[in-house]
Chain A
Amino acid sequence: MRTGLQIIWTAIAIGFGLIVLQGYFIDIPGLESLRTIILQWAVILAAAALLFGLGNLMAVHLAKIGGQEPGWPYSALLVVALVGTLIVGLLFGQESTLILSLFQYVQQPVEATLAGLLAISLTLGAVRLLSRRRDLRTTVFLATAVIVMLGTGPWLIGNNQGFQQIFTGARAWVSQVWATGAARGLLLGVALGATATGLRVLLGADRPYGD
């Protein structure tokens, strides 16, 4: 019985994968509409997964509140904000002025502040780096960062002159040669991994949908 179910699930997964995959290579009208339906199901499932994630978030933080675990006031604040925003959205609609104001005057400044703190933390780490770890890689890392910043931003003195042009060229060389070359390698690795994973699923070797 269990083996029979596994065969059924594997056949369904392989069939759906082949139907979606063929749309990239051939154009068969009947299969194309079926492919669209399958993709619509995927979008609906993704939206439902977002709701499940929301429910899981609530459950986790409600448990922390119930258990009076360390940091439970923050969990309470999260739950209150979540429920309040949800109620406002359900009552007034997602396009209401109140919802847009919450987004513009609460969510966006908070996230921007966190990004600004990230800039300060990175700067502090770079300042301390050579005091904590003195080796060749650290030195190369810091030198590269300084060269890229000098070639990126404006200069207070000698802007747009020859010395800055040198750093601008050095920054372009580092960014477009070294960094792009490394990025190409990363992208090739990602593509090969995705291809191998897709083939294993299509061949039934991997069954991420469960045994």
Chain B
Amino acid sequence: MCQTENEIGAEFCRLCHARLPETPIGPPPESEGEAVSDAGQMPDWLSRLRQEVSGETPSSPPPEKPAADDGLEWLGEMPQVVGEEEGPPPGEVPEWVGETQPPSGAQEGEVPEWLARIRAKAKGSDAPEAEGTVEPFQEPEADEAMAEESPPGPPPPVSEGAPVIGEEQSDSLGLPEWLMGAQAQEQAPEKPSEPERPAWLEGVTSDESQELPRVPALVIESDESGVPADIDLSDISSAIPDWMAEDAPAESKPDRPDLAPATLPAWLEAMRPVDTFRSVVEFDSTEEQAVEAAGPLAGLRGVLLAEPVVAMPRAPTGETTRLDVNEKQFAQAELLHRLVEQEKQEARPRPAERRRPGVLRWVVGASLLVAVGLPAILGFPSFDLPAFAPVDLASLVGLVETIPAESTALLVFDYEPGMTGEMEAVTGPLVSHLMERGIVMATLSTRPGGPALAERLMARVGATHNYIRGEDFVHLGYLPGGPAAVELFATAPQEAVPSGYLQDPEAGSVWESPVLTGVQALSDFAVLVVITSGSDDARVWIEQAQPHLGGNPLVAVVSAGAEPLVRPYYESTAPKVAGMLSGLTSATAYEQRLGRPSLAHARWSSYGLGLLAVEVLIVLGALGGLTSLALRLRR
């Protein structure tokens, strides 16, 4: 129950609606020293404290001693524990429990002296002659019944009309009679009697002269203890039993020497919690403290609050750290764990969707294929040959014409096999012109496939000029090493390329062939022709080899795409490139000038129609884009 004060005679609690014990009907008992005023009523000691704290005046007349047979009626209202009467089965009660069972009737007379003194004083000032004397305490009949039948426990619920104890009971420290009786039963065995001492204590005697060093207990000053000032503490000191007086604080015995204040050892001081985590609970003054509204301490002021102690930060304890998670939290934790694990795994690139080529792609491919293949296969349509030769071609032709006959030219084949279609058509007229001039040639390449491309071109063009490999031209082969190798070849050609390509072993070293007779350095070549489809290769040869040519010309044969990046070396005040040939248009014009139509002529119509197809497609595409834009804007 909630201990709320209810009207007398109420059947149920007005707060918790619990069934209240019945109020006894009849005259109150007249027993002197009775602690319990009524069955189911507040004990005297609790009523007195409440009056002292709250300042209430007693609303009911002084309690009257209930009849002996009516005083324990409230016990009948208490719920009985099932099987309580049966008790534990035999053998389950430890032996030591049995030894500490309170004596039932044989030890009633063995009331300690201090308790007898308290009880004697509690009988009121009506019997002052009994003060200070030690007499056997005579329990009233009601107390005896309560001591035998009522178990030790909290007092019965307090009713609103509970009687207040009289003046004579204020001297008895407010202890209810039932508690005094229980104390009498509990305190008595704590004073060891001789027969109950264990065997190992037989030889030990209590010697006060051999006291162990003691530390005075922490005793709060009486004015700070929160105890009401109107409580007579002298009664407490007088009520202290002898055996307790032996353990009293040192200041209570002035004959004792002054003891050193208690000091904590270092290891214990180190274990003290940090100040910041120490729970600090500040107590208000007695007047400012709230009155407890519920619970067994209802009506009391200054009750310690549990909340500050629980809520304040403190040093972590050694309690278990196991998390109590429910099923939903566990599932979420599993999901998070799975996500983290998946992050560690290498994300495989999603395979690109294989989209079918669109119609436009097919149209463009077919158009280009038809445009290039139609003139090559059917010879229709035919484009007119260029009527005007490029300006660069005239200077190149003049340069080749100045090269001495039967001199040696070095041809560098630095293009990939994929560019063969353009480069062979562009290079063919120049090689043919050189062969017409009777110039022997040596080929070299900084690409692994270059020697084979050189053999292919020289064999095709040489066939028309009766040029024989090994006699009219040789292949120096592959020169690895990039710019450093070009620099090495420029300074020491024979050390850079010790053996040739497709060289007859019986003829010895390539440098011993008649083509390279007298060639010891790069400057011994009458002309250096760099045939490349990329600007980087042209730049390397121009920058690394041209200074070692000794004034001999360097001719660049490049694709149409590489022309803009090579042209700065050609069109400068001190040109590094003496001649330049690029594109199928120049090659066709070169063949026209030589009067030897070759690959350039054969591909001229295909080249022209292919370009025209590309131009038309681009224009149509642009018109389509503009049309779609106009339609979109109109919408």
Contact = CB atoms under 8 A, between A and B. Distances in A.
Interface of A: 20, 23-24, 32, 35-36, 39-40, 42-43, 45-47, 50, 70, 94-95, 100, 103-104, 107-108, 111-112, 114-115, 119-120, 123-124, 126-132, 134, 142, 145-146, 149-150, 152-156, 159-160, 165, 168, 175-176, 179-180, 182-184, 186-187, 190
B612 interface: yes
Nearest to A190: B539
B139 interface: no
B373 to A, nearest CB: 11
B491 A36 contact: yes
B452 A149 contact: no
The 9 A-B residue pairs with the shortest CB-CB distance in the complex, in nearest-first order: A127-B621, A111-B418, A130-B625, A153-B611, A179-B564, A43-B481, A131-B625, A160-B387, A39-B488
B375 to A, nearest CB: 11
B384 A160 contact: yes
Contact of A112 (B421, B618, B621): B421
A39 B617 contact: no
A44 B322 CA distance: 68
B386 A127 contact: no
Given A176-B571, A180-B571, A130 B621 contact: yes
B514 interface: no
B484 A42 contact: yes
B488 A128 contact: no
Nearest to B628: A131
Contacts of A156: 381, 383, 608-609, 612
B14 to A, nearest CB: 82
Nearest to A127: B621
Contact of A35 (B417, B491, B624, B626): B491
A40 B487 CA distance: 10
B418 A42 contact: no
A207 to B, nearest CB: 19
A157 to B, nearest CB: 10
Given A127-B618, A159-B383, A175-B563, A153 B612 contact: yes
A155 B385 CA distance: 10
A115 B418 contact: yes
Contacts of A179: 564, 567
A123 B449 contact: no
A46 B607 CA distance: 39
8 contacts: A42-B485, A45-B481, A50-B448, A111-B416, A111-B417, A130-B626, A131-B624, A186-B565
A43 B496 contact: yes
B484 A46 contact: yes
Interface stretch (B102-110, B307-315, B359-367): B359-367
Nearest to B568: A184
Given A50-B480, A180-B568, A107 B496 contact: no
Of the listed residues B418, B492, B565, the one surrounded by the most CB atoms of chain A closer than 10 A to its CB is B418
Given A46-B484, A103-B417, A156-B612, 16 more contacts: A40-B488, A40-B496, A42-B484, A95-B501, A108-B418, A108-B420, A111-B418, A115-B419, A126-B617, A126-B621, A127-B364, A127-B617, A127-B618, A130-B624, A149-B614, A153-B607
B550 interface: no
A107 B447 CA distance: 14
Contacts of A40: 488, 495-496
Contacts of B449: 103, 107
B488 A43 contact: yes
B200 interface: no
Interface in B91-119: none
Given A111-B417, A142-B622, A184-B568, A23 B361 contact: no
B608 A153 contact: yes
B618 A142 contact: yes
Nearest to B533: A115
A154 B384 CA distance: 7
A182 B564 contact: yes
Contacts of A160: 384, 386-388
Contacts of A120: 364-365, 368
A43 B388 CA distance: 45
B615 A159 contact: no
B629 interface: yes
A124 B622 CA distance: 12
A153 B621 contact: no
B484 A119 contact: no
Contacts of B563: 175
A24 B544 CA distance: 10
B484 A39 contact: yes
Contacts of A176: 567, 571
A23 B338 CA distance: 65
Contact of A149 (B417, B453, B539, B611): B611
A167 B501 CA distance: 45
B125 to A, nearest CB: 102
Given A108-B417, A131-B625, A152 B485 contact: no
B351 interface: yes
B399 interface: no
B383 A43 contact: no
Nearest to B479: A43
Contacts of A39: 484-485, 487-488, 491, 496
Interface in B533-589: 535, 539, 547, 560, 563-565, 567-568, 571, 583, 585
B393 interface: no
Interface string B352-386: 00000000110011001000000000000101111
B284 to A, nearest CB: 72
Contacts of A149: 611, 614-615
B611 A43 contact: no
B596 interface: no
Contacts of B624: 130-131
Nearest to A103: B452
A183 B502 CA distance: 38
B64 interface: no
B5 interface: no
Nearest to A124: B364
B417 A123 contact: no
Given A36-B495, A153-B612, A184-B568, A123 B617 contact: yes
B417 A130 contact: no
A129 to B, nearest CB: 7
Given A43-B484, A100-B455, A131-B625, A180 B564 contact: yes
Contacts of B621: 126-131
Contacts of A24: 547
B482 interface: yes
B485 A123 contact: no
B394 interface: no
Contacts of B245: none
A115 B421 contact: yes
Interface in B469-500: 479-482, 484-485, 487-488, 491-492, 495-496
B388 A187 contact: no
Contacts of B617: 123, 126-127
B418 A126 contact: no
Contact of B583 (A43, A111, A142, A152): A152
B297 interface: no
Contacts of A95: 501-502
Contacts of B568: 180, 183-184, 187
